[in-house]
Structure 1
Amino acid sequence: MTQVHARPDVAFDSPSDVIRDVQSARWAQKRWQDMGFAKRRKVLDAWRSDLARNADSIARTMSDEMGKPHSDAMFEIVMSLEHLAWAAANAEKVLGRRKVATSALTKNLRATVEYLPYGVVGVIGPWNYPVFTPMGSIAFALAAGNTVVFKPSEWTPRTGQAIIASFQRASGEFDVAHCVTGGGDVGEALCRSGVDKIGFTGSTATGRKILATCAENLTPVLCECGGKDALVVDADADVAAAADAAVWGAMSNAGQTCLAVERVYVHADVADEFERLVTAEAGRLRAAADGSTQIGAMTMPRQVDIVRSHVEDALASGGRALVGGLDSIDGQVVSPIVLTDVPEDSPAVVEETFGPTMTIRRVADMDEAVRLVEASEYGLGLTVFSRRNGRAIADRITSGNVAINGFVLHAAVPTLPLGGTKQSGFGRVHGPDGLREFAYSRSCTETLVQLPLPLTSFRRGPKVDQLISTVIEQVHGRAGKVRALLDGNGKP
């Protein structure tokens, strides 16, 4: 066994252990698939029940490993249970075999499509939401008929072990889902182990490494990476609600959220009120490592260094601190920091900070806000506050997810997909898209009646070709003529 400094109290697996568990999952996969949707649903429902009964214990492990308050850890588990329930209940409806329509030339066929499991799915989870985030891949992959080998972050291995132990305890299935623990070497081994797909959540930099490794065997990857999410406040917004959402979005989980509010662009007409409310709300919050406050300690020391460097640069570049400052950083405990007048090319605005900070910039109008939000290389989430124009503003901005007049509520809706664009990654978890992410589509046609016209045969001669040309002209050529007349051209 190898040891990683993040959790010296846990013995980590070796790359050879990864191969062993992948082989075990491979052996169990066909049996798990052949159980069918109904029986798998019963197993997943039993797992959900066990997770609920043991939620307090798992939440305490999570708090101990990564520092979030117990109440936040419990809420994370509750959210996970909602998505697990939806995946189990809807997998057959989304993935099961169904008829699809045929065309004019293929009326003699019965056409169906179904979604089949890849086989063994490797899941590489993050430390910031060590239950909710990987469960979006684990639960949906299992519901689709895959077996799973899960590698939690080396910072939260015991939380990962608790998730899989719960499944094994509730189901009696010890080969269907596995947990391997360790650092980057174990993650690399999982990518090279012959799994049929990787579901990854983490930084963009790590995502690039995983993609490069998986490219060696053309292993497909679901990649949810970093973000630099913005919150936009229009002149007609509910400013109090926007300020509350901004503070929660930026500071909850010590800012260690890929969908966190890191940038705010507020209309000049309401900027004074917005800044006043944010300053009051964020100013009363404190962070502590003992669970006595609403914000816990940050998990990784090197992430604290990034927060410090971003704040130092912002202040040195002319930015002002409305709340906190460099003295808000005490070891791994970081109290809220709110900055304004920060240049748009500052790391605090451009790079992912991943700490309890936010920058606020006043804009003359929503055109300026859209331009500044769109300048980011990331495209994960977006929050817009506007009573009349929220959807219109959001439609002009590239992002995988958007919440209008509320923060991150899309992540709470089990039927909605979650994922990013641009440097924030690709692929989706949750909802029907999340189920299909862990299955490949298979098309099937059955010939019901043999056509007198041999289309796919060397017996097809000139007369058949002429007849086909006539049919095509009638079906498709006339459509063009009708469209031309409708467009006012008079002729095609």
Structure 2
Amino acid sequence: MSTTETNSGTAPAQSASALASKNPATGDVISVHAIQSPEEVRAAVERARSAARSWNALGFDGRKQHLLRWVSYLLDHADELSELIHAENGKPVDDAYLELVLAVEHIAWAAKHAKKVLSPKKVAPGLLMANFSAVIEQHPLGVIGVIGPWNYPVYTPMGSIAYALAAGNSVVFKPSEYTTAVGNYLADSFRLANPELREHILTTVNGYGETGAALVTSGVNKIAFTGSTPTGKRIMAAAAESLTPVLLECGGKDAAIVAADADVKAAADAIAFGAMANSGQTCVGVERVYVDKRVSDEFITEIKKIIRDLKPGDAEGASYGPMTMPSQIDIVRSHIEDALEHGGRAVVGGADSVKERYIEPVVIVDADETCSAVVEETFGPTLTIRTVDSADEAIELANASRFGLASTVFSKNHGMEIARRLRAGATSVNSVLGFAAIPALPFGGVGESGIGRIHGEWGLKEFTRPHAIANQRFAIPGMALLSFKRTKMTTSLVKQTMKLLHGRYK
């Protein structure tokens, strides 16, 4: 089983013992990392298990202090990390900094809210058990294995790492083979920010799919994975052998709806960014648009103006960078060609937009809804646009996907109404990606887009197990329900009580 965390394609060429991290814009080697064997992965998990006990013993306040120190360290070294993200992932430095800002927001939220969310909660025992107290406690799982992606190598895995740490777990992190240097920087920065802590609270294991597969079967207490749906299914199958729980954030084919009452210029500006930023390599980015016929011509005109001016490159001022994973280029090319062969018309770019390392922006209108550019995750700087007769038709087409990760709605008066009808884990109204920047909101998909949630209260609870405790405070004479000494009088009293409580619903 391979757990390569790419959305599609294959891993770069590998040697038996080392992984070379490369700049996708130039091919230059950035750093070389030793590949951990399955035995070394298991050893790392055991070290993390020991470290988890001391980390959990610090309590919420102690962990909060160390996590906020980490936030300060990352911000103090933001330029250094942003440059590394730019070099290894390819995105512009300013976009790399924005990714880092969003990540530290989530670390800080998890650190500050873990105590409130996860502290013991008293619940009402009910009339029959009035002599009991009842409490729910949340306990950390132990060691969390995180398998991260390359497209947002800081922000996305942090949605698992930060929340798992705040909940009292240790983490073994397997970064993508395409952004290994960034992943190791994160683990090193946690240690440097907190030199007095014992090691192995947050550690990395490096390698390709085989290393990820070893982590899944290493005895971790939960696996959190971000990547393709096929890989997520293989991880789930392997984890099932030991009943290891999984959290899967998989692919998407995210739709945007532009209603008749939308602010068309604002919609075009936002959707252009949602589709093209990070070379379109965004799991919650916009890949398809359904626009009402009453504003369709205006919208297409506006978005063409914006997108035609976008230029990929590695230099300062570039709109976005190279394709991080070389094999994805062929997939993007095939989707463009398939759309054009099935009725689509390119209004920006076309098949010739696909270059050796970069892909210039492509916008295709009225492609058949069954073509790969509309059905499958493209993960490149492309956009399909279809004109619809109504919001109802737009919603029907947006929901006609096996994926259900994120969505976008532009409407001045009906945004929330449309959003509530969309089959997606998250929706942004009159903006793109707004949910990703709000730490309190849960993030995850439905259907083939995944299982479970990161971020917010739900993200903290994902990395704990609930423990229900019922404590009998005193005995009630003649009311021994859970005893062989129970009398007929007791049973009669219970029957009368039940009728009084629940017998009137007719």
Q: The TM-score by the shorter chain falls in which range?
A: over 0.9
Deviation readout 1:283-339 (Å, 9 max, x if unpaired): 110111345401100111111111000001111122111101112111120111000
User: Counterpart of 1:475 in structure 2: which amino acid?
Assistant: L
Please state whether the residue corresponding to 1:429 is helix, strand or coil.
coil
**C-alpha contact (below 8 Å) 1:399/1:421 kept by paired residues:** yes
Which TM-score applies when normalising by structure 2?
Answer: 0.93
Deviates more, 1:77-86 or 1:9-18: 9-18
**C-alpha contact (below 8 Å) 2:255/2:406 kept by paired residues:** yes
Match of 1:109 in 2: 132
Match of 1:276 in 2: 301
User: Counterpart of 1:388 in structure 2: which amino acid?
Assistant: N
Q: How big is the alpha-carbon RMSD for the aligned residues of Structure 1 and Structure 2?
A: 1.1
**C-alpha contact (below 8 Å) 2:225/2:248 kept by paired residues:** yes
Match of 1:471 in 2: 497
| Percent identity for Structure 1 against Structure 2 | 48
Please state whether the residue corresponding to 1:330 is helix, strand or coil.
coil
Distance in 2 between residues matched to 1:254 and 1:293, nearest whole Å: 11
User: Counterpart of 1:446 in structure 2: which amino acid?
Assistant: N
Distance in 2 between residues matched to 1:448 and 1:88, nearest whole Å: 34
Give aligned pairs, total: 480
Choose which of 407, 412, 419 in structure 2 pairs with 1:387. Answer: 412
Deviation readout 1:30-70 (Å, 9 max, x if unpaired): 11111101111111111111111111111111111111111
Choose which of 43, 51, 54 in structure 1 pairs with 2:74. Answer: 51
Deviates more, 1:349-358 or 1:92-101: 92-101
Choose which of 333, 340, 357 in structure 1 pairs with 2:365. Answer: 340
Please state whether the residue corresponding to 2:409 is helix, strand or coil.
strand
**C-alpha contact (below 8 Å) 2:408/2:432 kept by paired residues:** yes
1:171 maps to 2:194: yes
1:429 maps to 2:451: no
**Unmatched segments (≥5 aa) in structure 2:** 1-15, 23-28
Please state whether the residue corresponding to 2:224 is helix, strand or coil.
strand
User: Counterpart of 1:3 in structure 2: which amino acid?
Assistant: A
Deviates more, 1:394-403 or 1:5-14: 5-14
Please state whether the residue corresponding to 2:346 is helix, strand or coil.
strand
Match of 1:193 in 2: 218
Deviation readout 1:360-417 (Å, 9 max, x if unpaired): 0000001111111111111000100111111111121110001111111011011111
**C-alpha contact (below 8 Å) 2:173/2:205 kept by paired residues:** yes
User: Counterpart of 1:440 in structure 2: which amino acid?
Assistant: R
**C-alpha contact (below 8 Å) 2:164/2:460 kept by paired residues:** yes
User: Counterpart of 1:161 in structure 2: which amino acid?
Assistant: N
Deviation readout 1:59-87 (Å, 9 max, x if unpaired): 11111111111110000000111111110
Match of 1:120 in 2: 143
1:2 maps to 2:24: no
CA gap of 1:5–1:162, structure 2 versus 1, over 3 A, is closer
Distance in 1 between residues matched to 2:212 and 2:177, nearest whole Å: 10
**C-alpha contact (below 8 Å) 2:118/2:461 kept by paired residues:** yes
Match of 1:483 in 2: none
**Unmatched segments (≥5 aa) in structure 1:** 481-491
Q: Per-residue deviation at 1:171?
A: 1.2
1:457 maps to 2:483: yes
Please state whether the residue corresponding to 1:289 is helix, strand or coil.
coil
Trace 1:61-460 onto structure 2 (pairs within 5 A): 61-172=84-195, 173=197, 174-452=199-477, 453-460=479-486
User: Counterpart of 2:189 in structure 1: which amino acid?
Assistant: S
**C-alpha contact (below 8 Å) 2:21/2:32 kept by paired residues:** no
**C-alpha contact (below 8 Å) 1:24/1:175 kept by paired residues:** yes
Distance in 2 between residues matched to 1:169 and 1:124, nearest whole Å: 22
Match of 2:8 in 1: none
Please state whether the residue corresponding to 2:466 is helix, strand or coil.
strand
Please state whether the residue corresponding to 1:339 is helix, strand or coil.
strand
Deviates more, 1:136-145 or 1:12-21: 12-21
**C-alpha contact (below 8 Å) 1:300/1:332 kept by paired residues:** no
Distance in 1 between residues matched to 2:40 and 2:123, nearest whole Å: 44
Deviates more, 1:169-178 or 1:273-282: 169-178
**Higher share of residues assigned helix:** 1
Q: Per-residue deviation at 1:27?
A: 1.1
Which TM-score applies when normalising by structure 1?
Answer: 0.96
Q: Per-residue deviation at 1:4?
A: 4.4
Match of 1:37 in 2: 60
Q: Per-residue deviation at 1:461?
A: 2.7
